[in-house]
Amino acid sequence: MPKIRCFLPNASSLINGVPFIPCEDGGVESQESLSEEMAAQFDGIQGYALIPDGTPKTARKTKPKED
């Protein structure tokens, strides 16, 4: 199950009932993996990115592309 990264400034530690933890680059990441249903709620929202299982932390620093 995926995790979520949020790159929005001033992101909260609790978003939509999901606890997030700070990252070194200033973003936040979901504390635990989410169900596919919960991940789908974040998917496609600008400023959020899904992190598939097994993605190394070094690959998580890339911001999602702006449309």
User: What pLDDT tens digit does each residue of the chain (67 aa) get?
Assistant: 899 999 998 899 999 999 999 988 889 999 999 999 999 999 889 999 998 875 656 555 555 555 5
pLDDT of residue 48: 94
- pLDDT for res 34: 93
Domain range spanning residue 42?
A: 3-51
Residue 61 lies in a domain: no
Q: Provide the domain count of the chain.
A: 1
59 domain residue, yes or no = no
Decide: pTM greater than 0.85.
no
Query: Quick one: pLDDT at residue 47?
Result: 94
Residue 53, pLDDT score: 76
Instruction: Confirm whether 13 is domain-assigned.
Output: yes
d(CA 37, CA 8): 22
